[in-house]
């Protein structure tokens, strides 16, 4: 897997594509995630139940990269199969929809790069019915006294890296995910409170309509 750095200035998205040769890395700054000082361990069944308890969600996020840079933005989700990452200081955009993940570079006049959703970590949390152990990609589960983590990777190509999802309890909530690439480099996306059950129109997840609006078709 080869890392591709786009000319996005202050921010862009992170999408790791398992089994492919591209990763888009945005510049981001390391910030510590503020977690409760203690928390209960969460079973895998409870995590699956939490992820299956909503079909739409919105959250502000902070994206962190190992080089010490930072970007912030807003995540929209609409399961199954749809997500949108808007960045605050840039027109950079990532849309998951129609079985694809599209990465819009604000300084390029070319159509967005696209990858199959099933080859990205987003496929796990955007499934119609989430079962983190059913895909054979569950590589780890642990509890550190504060948060519960699950690690997912491509079982056929584990050398390509992994994604760690971090949850806290009371109530169960997704706090962050950490993508580790094949070289050991890490990118972290940390979420504020995930607001679920929100109204989100289908237009937000249309790669075609976004491309047309940007004059890229």
Chain center to CA of 11: 15
Is 183 contained in some domain?
yes
Is 215 part of any domain? no
Q: Give the pLDDT confidence score for residue 125 in this predicted structure.
A: 83
d(CA 49, CA 70): 32
Average pLDDT, the chain: 80
Look at residue 166 in the predicted model and tell me its pLDDT.
95
Q: What is the pLDDT of residue 33?
A: 42
Q: What CATH number does residue 138 fall under?
A: 2.50.20.10
CA distance 128 to 37: 33
Assigned domain for 79 exists: yes
Percent of the chain past pLDDT 70, that is, above it, reads 82
CA distances to 10, 63, 123, 126, 152 from 73, rounded to whole Å, are: 12, 8, 20, 19, 24
Number of folded domains that form the chain: 1
Each residue's pLDDT tens digit, 73-101: 999 999 999 999 999 988 889 999 999 99
108: its two tokens: 């390029």
Residue 104 lies in a domain: yes
Task: Answer yes or no: is 217 within a domain.
Answer: no
Q: Which residue has the higher pLDDT, 25 or 133?
A: 133
Q: Give me the mean pLDDT over the 11-40 stretch.
A: 43
Helices (H) and strands (E) in the chain, counts: 3, 15
CB 8 within 8 A of CB 105: yes
Q: How many CB atoms lie within 10 A of CB 92?
A: 25
Q: List the domain range (segments joined by +) for residue 162.
A: 3-209
HSE-CB at 94 with a 13 A cutoff on CA atoms is 26
pTM for this model (two decimals): 0.80
């Amino acid at each position: 897997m080869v890392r591709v750095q786009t000319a996005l200035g202050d921010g862009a998205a992170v999408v790791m594509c398992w089994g492919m040769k591209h990763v888009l890395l945005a510049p981001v700054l390391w910030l510590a995630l503020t977690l409760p000082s203690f928390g209960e361990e969460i079973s895998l069944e409870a995590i699956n139940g939490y992820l299956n308890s909503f079909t739409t969600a919105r959250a502000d996020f902070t994206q962190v990269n190992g080089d010490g840079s930072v970007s912030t933005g807003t995540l929209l989700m609409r399961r199954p199969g749809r997500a949108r990452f808007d960045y605050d200081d840039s027109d950079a955009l990532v849309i998951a929809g129609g079985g694809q993940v599209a990465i819009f570079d604000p300084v390029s006049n070319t159509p967005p790069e696209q990858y199959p959703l099933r080859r990205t970590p987003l496929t796990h949390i955007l499934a119609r019915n989430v079962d983190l152990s059913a895909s054979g990609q569950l590589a780890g589960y642990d509890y550190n006294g504060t948060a519960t983590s699950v690690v997912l990777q491509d079982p056929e190509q584990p050398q390509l890296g992994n994604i760690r999802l971090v949850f806290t309890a009371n109530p169960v909530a997704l706090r962050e995910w950490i993508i580790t690439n094949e070289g050991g480099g890490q990118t972290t996306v940390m979420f504020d409170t995930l607001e679920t059950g929100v109204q989100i129109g289908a237009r937000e997840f249309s790669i075609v309509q976004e491309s047309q609006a940007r004059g890229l078709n």
